Amino acid sequence: MAIGTIAISLTVLFHTIGLMALARFMGRLIRWFRLHQHDLGKTVAMVTTVLGLFLLHMVEIWAWAGLFLGIGAVADFGDALYFSTVTFSTVGYGDVSVAPAWRLLASLE
């Protein structure tokens, strides 16, 4: 639980800082290119925002994968990244799993 609490806290902190940075960046981008004045600009702004969110999530998934690999819950980084992705996205195929001692940590992701 301690490792999970730290991992979740860091994930939330990173996500919060990332959202704040993305909001600041998008505000500047919208003003600079006057994207709010036409439909194409609004589309560009929305796509850029979604891609920024995707990037934040990808960094978080890679961080969790590194954690699973670092604690020995998964054998190699490819499996750790795959496991982290399906767990983070709540798909949870179940074809790759962590060692039984780390199942609770995995459920926290």
Tokens 């439909």 belong to residue = 39
| Amino acid 94: pLDDT | 87
Residues 7-46 have pLDDT tens digits of 999 999 999 999 999 999 998 888 888 877 888 888 888 9
Q: What is the DSSP annotation of 8-64?
A: HHHHHHHHHHHHHHHHHHHHHHHHHHTGGGSHHHHHHHHHHHHHHHHHHHHHHHHHH
The mean pLDDT value for 75-79 works out to 95
0.85 exceeded by the pTM?
yes
Residues 88-105 have pLDDT tens digits of 999 988 899 898 899 999
Residues 37-72 have pLDDT tens digits of 888 888 888 999 999 999 999 999 999 999 999 999
